[in-house]
Amino acid sequence: MYIKQKKSWEISENEATCESLYLNRRKLLQAAGLAGAGLMIGGTPSFATPISGFPPIRNSEYTLDRALTSEQDATTYTNFYEFGSSKNIWRKAKKLSTDPWLVTIDGLVDYPIQIDASELVKKLGGMEERLYRHRCVEAWSMAVPWSGFSLSNLVKFASPKSDAKYIRMETFFDPDVAPGQKQSWYPWPYVEGLTLNEAKNELAFLAVGLYGKAMQNQNGAPIRLVVPWKYGFKSIKSITRFTFTNERPVSFWEELSPKEYGFWANVSPWVPHPRWPQDRERVLGGGYVKTQLYNGYEEEVSYLYKDKYTDDKRELFY
């Protein structure tokens, strides 16, 4: 449950968390003999400590084959269906309050926790800047500097149990703030997932900033996923929950249209979308370039899919 604009001292803990989650966590803690041991690291945040450390140092290992997209384009042409299906939602997204921002880490972990995003960032340390290409399934692309840290740091921090195979991520749900969520034909909240092996790949990134500054709401503040070898819809914004599980998560777009937006969603120029080709892309700011397999990150990620090729090539790409 997304936390509304009440201050933490006005609410009790079981109001501040989804009831069932609260009960689950209590059960888990009781089972472990840890009830009351104060495992809610950071606690329900009572006041804002903004995420700091901008601009981080650029990691020179990540280079581009094209010019950076202008900050103006990357921050005003955005997909964030919670605020509407147009690309021009950046003004509407200002209504989202991202500080404090409670993040839940639960599922197949020894100690489920809730932690404020700014505390989480401190725990994960090592903020850096990376230049990544981004390829939307709609065949437009950009190239931008993200600030953040490897998703593998979060996996280590969460310390999943050995039977965890997937990580499921969820966006906030608050229709009063995000009018798109009043459209009940969508399966809100937005959900995405990766295999744990994908999540541990060095390229999988949790971004908290863009262009050396704190993330703006329209780009997924305060914390979002960036998986540049997959179509953009996998890169879920404004994450409130990370759940480790042994069941493959069904993502938002997969639930709506599984043939068009499957679980894997790896970028491939030779597997067309059912309704349009995918062999080239429109670059934000002007021009077209050829689309590359795994969006140009084949060397880094192809090992993940070596044993998965089947006769149906589509399987890995949608």
Ligand X SMILES: Nc1nc2c(c(=O)[nH]1)N[C@H]1C(S)=C(S)[C@@H](COP(=O)(O)O)O[C@H]1N2
149 binds, among ligand X, Mo ion, none (CB under 5 to 8 A by kind): none
Cβ partners under 8 Å of residue 157, min gap 6: 105, 120, 123, 124
Which CB sits closer to Mo ion, 29 or 93? 93
Q: Does 136 bind Mo ion (CB under 5 A)?
A: yes
Q: Does 82 bind ligand X (CB under 6 A)?
A: yes
Neighbouring C-alpha atoms within 13 Å toward the C-beta of 309: 3
Each residue 163-182 as x (binds ligand X by CB under 6 A) or -, in order, gives --------x-----------
Say if CB 300 and CB 229 are below 8 A apart: yes
Identify the CA nearest to 55 among candidates 208, 202, 205. Answer: 208
CA dihedral 27, 36, 124, 253 (to 10 degrees): 30
Which CB sits closer to ligand X, 1 or 236? 236
| Cis upstream peptide for 160 (omega within 30°) | no
81 binds, among Mo ion, ligand X, none (CB under 5 to 8 A by kind): ligand X
CB neighbour burial string for 160-174, b if at least 16 within 10 angstroms, e if fewer: beeebebbbbbbbbb
Q: Does 232 bind Mo ion (CB under 5 A)?
A: yes
Q: Does 228 bind Mo ion (CB under 5 A)?
A: no
CA dist 66 and 109 (Å) reads 41
Question: Residue 2, Cα to own-chain centre: how many angstroms?
Answer: 16
Say if CB 133 and CB 271 are below 8 A apart: no
Q: Does 232 bind ligand X (CB under 6 A)?
A: yes
Pair of tokens at residue 255: 């639930």
* Shortest distance (Å) from residue 139 CB to ligand X: 11
Each residue 180-219 as x (binds ligand X by CB under 6 A) or -, in order, gives ----------x----------------------------x
109 binds, among Mo ion, ligand X, none (CB under 5 to 8 A by kind): none
| Positions 235 through 254 that interact with ligand X (CB under 6 A) | 235-238
Q: Which residue is nearest to ligand X (CB)?
A: 232
Compute how many residues bind Mo ion; rule: CB under 5 A: 4
Residues near Mo ion (CB under 5 A) are 79, 136, 232-233
Residues near ligand X (CB under 6 A) are 78-82, 136, 171, 190, 219-220, 232-233, 235-238
